[in-house]
Structure 1
Amino acid sequence: MSLTMEAILQQARPVLPVLVIEDAASAVELAQALHAGGVRVLEVTLRTPRALEAVTSIRQALPDLLVGAGTLIHAAQFLEARDAGAQFAVSPGCTERLAMAALDAQLPYLPGVLTPSEVLMALEFGHRSLKLFPANGSASVKMLKSLRGPFTGIRFCPTGGINVDNLLSFLSLPNVACVGGTWIAPANLVRARAWDQITQLAREACELARSLEQHS
């Protein structure tokens, strides 16, 4: 059975870590630290020269994790990501060319949207799981509440501006499947190889989410 973006986001809840990996040699240790904290899905952004290598290394070392490639902004990157072992693709926006590239690569795709018109464009290509980017605090919470009415059945992964302080504000919304964030593995902790601290950040996010589910 092939993976769908809906199933991937369901597994990712509460948090899809967004990783910027400068040193591919530490990629597996970083992924292990996140996995130990309860993370089951992660996104490696293609913002660094070693990102594709990191995707391959993590997939080989941790087959239980779902690994995606993010910040795809060129059509050619979809095939590159697939060939590196990525199991899904994420972009900060949505264009016809990117949507077609995802289809050609046969990768589950999470396109970025910010406006109702962009949601409609993504819907035209059959995407019902979308990334809201950038998600900036209370204004984005209001936006997601407004989008729920006309766009029933659409699930969002807000990303950009999410942190432990506003995590529950987003996760409590019925049209939010999970959130994306870099705060789980901040650059300073990754550079310091502070794996225990990263595990703790992941664990705290998962525990917060569980407290929300228990009171819902």
Structure 2
Amino acid sequence: MSLPNPLPLLAKAPVVPVVVIESLADAVPLARALVAGGLPLIEITLRTPVALEAVRAVAAEVEGAVAGAGTVIDRAQIEASLEAGARFLVSPGTTPSLADAFTQLDVPVMAGCATASEAMRLAEMGFEVLKFFPAEASGGAAFLKSIAGPLPHLRFCPTGGIGPANVADYLALPNVLAVGGSWVVPQDAIRAGNFEKVRALAAAAAALPRAARLG
């Protein structure tokens, strides 16, 4: 089975900001700062009451942004996210029913996994790029390095516990296309309206080198 591949999206930047929007008014200026800094792929997590409206606003109003929905855990959230304009979906883990729903979509999905067995099952269903979550708690860069040999066909976007101190370890791996991270969107900066700080953090993240072949 051939599913929409997230690779072309992940080729846009080495870091996918993992965003929690508490106030809808922050969504557009935050996304504009990320795009200006060179991080156009934006995962807006469905963890707050305004998350879907934030996806809608970014998708409609921010030129250059590729708005996606994260923390997608059921079919209702899939439908709501796509209706809001999400151009990609990300899940923290993948149940059989969620995986089945994902295979019916025409948008890229990064289905979540935390073990080799989970990754293998998703690969059997046609998923080629997976979210590895929670990355640090599940073995980190060492885990991904260790499974590159037996599972050379899989690529990952690890998320969870990744920041300036360890991001280079992940991006140095040939099976890591990009990483997800919240360090580029610190909540204190968002609450203070300091979107210039976000732009600067995004610019630094966008300049990070990565080893994975994206072509």
TM-score scaled by structure 2?
0.92
Once the two structures are superposed, residues 38-67 of structure 1 have per-residue CA deviations (whole angstroms, 9 ceiling, x without a partner) of 112110000011111001100111242211
Residue pair 2:135, 2:160 contacting (<8 A) in 1 also: yes
Give how far 1:208 is off.
Answer: 3.3
Write out aligned runs for 1:47-86 (5 A). Answer: 47-86=47-86
Write out aligned runs for 1:44-123 (5 A). Answer: 44-123=44-123
* 1:10 and 2:11 correspond: yes
Partner residue in 2 for 1:174: 174
Residue pair 1:137, 1:162 contacting (<8 A) in 2 also: no
Residue pair 2:171, 2:209 contacting (<8 A) in 1 also: yes
- The AA in structure 1 aligned to 2:11 is Q
- The AA in structure 2 aligned to 1:142 is A
Aligned residues: 210
Give how far 1:138 is off.
Answer: 10
More helix by share: 1
Give how far 1:153 is off.
Answer: 2.2
Partner residue in 1 for 2:39: 39
Residue pair 1:82, 1:105 contacting (<8 A) in 2 also: no
| SS of corresponding position for 1:43 | strand
Q: Percent identity?
A: 44
| SS of corresponding position for 1:161 | coil
Residue pair 2:18, 2:42 contacting (<8 A) in 1 also: yes
Give how far 1:73 is off.
Answer: 1.2
Give how far 1:137 is off.
Answer: 7.8
Residue pair 2:28, 2:61 contacting (<8 A) in 1 also: yes
Q: C-alpha distance in 1, partners of 2:198/2:119?
A: 33
Residue pair 2:89, 2:109 contacting (<8 A) in 1 also: yes
- The AA in structure 2 aligned to 1:161 is G
Partner residue in 2 for 1:202: 202
Once the two structures are superposed, residues 101-137 of structure 1 have per-residue CA deviations (whole angstroms, 9 ceiling, x without a partner) of 2233433210111111100121122001001111118
Structure 2 alignment gaps of length 5 or more: none
| SS of corresponding position for 2:163 | coil
Q: C-alpha distance in 2, partners of 1:162/1:4?
A: 23
Residue pair 1:134, 1:161 contacting (<8 A) in 2 also: yes
Partner residue in 1 for 2:145: 145
Structure 1 alignment gaps of length 5 or more: none
Residue pair 1:110, 1:129 contacting (<8 A) in 2 also: yes
Give how far 1:200 is off.
Answer: 0.7
| SS of corresponding position for 2:174 | coil
- The AA in structure 1 aligned to 2:5 is T
TM-score scaled by structure 1?
0.91
Greater CA drift, 171-180 or 149-158: 149-158
Residue pair 1:157, 1:176 contacting (<8 A) in 2 also: yes
Once the two structures are superposed, residues 150-200 of structure 1 have per-residue CA deviations (whole angstroms, 9 ceiling, x without a partner) of 111211101001101111111010000000001110111111111011111
Q: C-alpha distance in 1, partners of 2:164/2:103?
A: 34
Q: C-alpha distance in 2, partners of 1:206/1:31?
A: 14
- The AA in structure 1 aligned to 2:8 is A
| SS of corresponding position for 2:104 | helix
* 1:158 and 2:162 correspond: no
Partner residue in 2 for 1:128: 128
| SS of corresponding position for 2:44 | strand
Q: C-alpha distance in 2, partners of 1:58/1:84?
A: 10
